[in-house]
Structure 1
Amino acid sequence: MKQQFGDLLVLAEQGQFDVIVHGCNCFCTMGAGIAKAIKEKFPEAYQADLQTVSGDRGKLGTYSQAKIQREGGEFVIINAYTQFNWRGRGIKADYAAIEQVFKSIKSEFSGLRIAYPLIGAGLAGGDWAVISKMIDHELHGEAHTLVRLI
């Protein structure tokens, strides 16, 4: 796993990545964190989220996607369903869902430049040490980058 600091959305717009992945809950809210920024900056990704069934636990481990075309080029945003909801206390990250999402991403996007924030370890409260090992395992051999905000 490569790491770099910066704004994941700006870097994608600048053509540094082909695919960006962010974690979502299963209720089509995109109301906080990077999901909210994506919803505001790239409404196509939110529209893709809205095409799924709100509150469907079966979405865990799957994703919706949107192709984004801007002056800097094009890239895909993956709305990864890695937590069921956002309410209450405790860990919201679903480790099995995170693992499944990245397994599917490798299958569909192998050979492309993939980037993501601290999926599941921010607002979802998961353990990045655990999550990063899963991502490294599932994306073994791929060009993938963790982008941390400065």
Structure 2
Amino acid sequence: MKIVQGDLLRLAADGRFDVIVHGCNCQCQMGKGIALTIKRRFPEAYRADLTTEKGVRDKLGSYSQARVSENGHEFVIVNAYTQFHWRGEGVRADYEAIAKAMRSIAREFHGRRIGYPLIGAGLARGDWNTIAAIIDEALAGEDHTLVEFDG
């Protein structure tokens, strides 16, 4: 895993990534964090989320996606369903769902430049060391980068 400081969306819009992945809940909300920023800036990604069934646990580990363009650069936004709900106490990140989604992303987007934030470690309260190991294993051999927000 490469690690850079910056704004994931700006880097993608500048042509740094072909695919960006962020964690979503299964409630079709995209109401906080980077998901809300994506929803507002790239409504196509939110529309893709809305094509999935709200509140279904079977979505965990799957994803929806939207192809977007900004600054003359096209890239794919992947809404990875890595937590069931945003409500409640404790860890809401689902490590198994993160692993399943990332393995599928590695297959579908093999050879592409993939960027992501601290998936599951912010609002979902997951342990980043655990999640980083999951991502590294799932995306082994791929060009993937953690973007730590510096804004």
Place the TM-score, normalised by the shorter chain, in its bin: over 0.9
Aligned to 1:69: 69
Q: 1:11-26 residue pairs with structure 2 within 5 A?
A: 11-26=11-26
- CA offset at residue 88 of structure 1? 1.4
The alpha-carbon deviation at position 70 of structure 1 amounts to: 2.3
RMSD (Å), alpha carbons: 0.5
The size of the alignment, in residue pairs, is 150
Question: Unmatched 5+ residue regions in structure 2?
Answer: none
How many angstroms apart in 2 are the aligned matches of 1:147 and 1:72? 21
TM-score by length of 1: 0.99
User: 1: CA distance between counterparts of 2:97 and 2:88?
Assistant: 19
Aligned to 1:27: 27
- Distance in 1 (CA, whole Å) between partners of 2:69 and 2:10 is 13
State the distance in 1 between where 2:92 and 2:32 align: 14
Deviations 1:80-126 (A, max 9, x none): 00000000111000000000000000000010000000000000000
C-alpha distance in 1 between matches for 2:137 and 2:89: 29
* Cα distance in structure 2, aligned partners of 1:72 and 1:97: 33
Output the amino acid matched with 2:45. A
Q: Which amino acid aligns with 2:119?
A: I
Tell me which amino acid in the other structure corresponds to 2:71: E
CA distance in 1, matches of 2:73, 2:130: 33
Question: What secondary structure does 2:111 align onto?
Answer: coil
Matched position secondary structure for 1:54: coil
Q: Quote the Cα distance in structure 2 between the aligned partners of 1:94 and 1:124.
A: 9
- Stretches of 4+ moved more than 4 A in 1? none
Deviation at 1:71, TM superposition (A): 2.8
The percent of aligned pairs where both chains have the same amino acid is 63
Instruction: Give the AA of the match of 2:43.
Output: P
Asked whether 1:146 is paired with 2:146, we answer yes
Counterpart residue identity of residue 87, structure 1: R
- Give distance in 2, aligned partners of 1:49 and 1:64: 6
The CA deviation at 1:64 is: 0.1
The Cα offsets for residues 22-56 of structure 1, whole Å up to 9 and x where unpaired, read as 00000000000000000000000000000000001
Q: Structure 1: 5+ residue runs without aligned partners?
A: none
Partner secondary structure for residue 52 of structure 1:
coil
Q: Distance in 2 between matches of 1:18 and 1:138?
A: 18
Q: Give distance in 1, aligned partners of 2:80 and 2:44.
A: 15
CA distance in 2, matches of 1:91, 1:109: 28
Q: How far apart, in 1, do the equivalents of 2:91 and 2:142 lie?
A: 28
